[in-house]
């Protein structure tokens, strides 16, 4: 299951280096995950200080 970053993102960048497939990118004032390339490993989830990363339902 892929992940997404919600509007709660504070654009701190903590999630980006945690992604082993490098599918997290900064866009304007929020980070985004390319859901088509996300492997669903979840390594980025605990890195987010505001809990803005969630599984896509």
User: Residue 3 in contact with residue 42, Cβ under 8 Å?
Assistant: yes
Q: What pLDDT score was predicted for residue 17? A: 98
Query: What is the pTM for the complete model shown?
Result: 0.90
Domain containing residue 11: CATH number: 3.30.70.20
Question: How many domains is the chain partitioned into structurally?
Answer: 1
Residue 18's domain comprises 3-55
On whether the CB atoms of residues 38 and 2 are closer than 8 A, the answer is yes
Structure tokens at 29: 């004032």
Question: CA distances (Å), 49 to each of 11, 36, 37, in order?
Answer: 10, 24, 23
Residue located via tokens 């929020």: 30
The tens-digit pLDDT sequence of the chain (57 residues) is 999 999 999 999 999 999 999 999 999 889 999 999 999 999 999 999 999 999 998
Q: What is the pLDDT of residue 57?
A: 84
Q: 17: closest CA among 56, 51, 41, 43?
A: 43
């Amino acid at each position: 299951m892929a992940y997404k970053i919600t509007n709660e993102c504070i654009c701190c960048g903590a999630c980006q280096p945690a992604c082993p497939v490098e599918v997290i990118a900064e866009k304007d004032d929020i980070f985004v995950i390319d859901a088509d390339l996300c492997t669903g490993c979840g390594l980025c989830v605990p890195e987010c200080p505001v809990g803005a990363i969630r599984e896509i339902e």
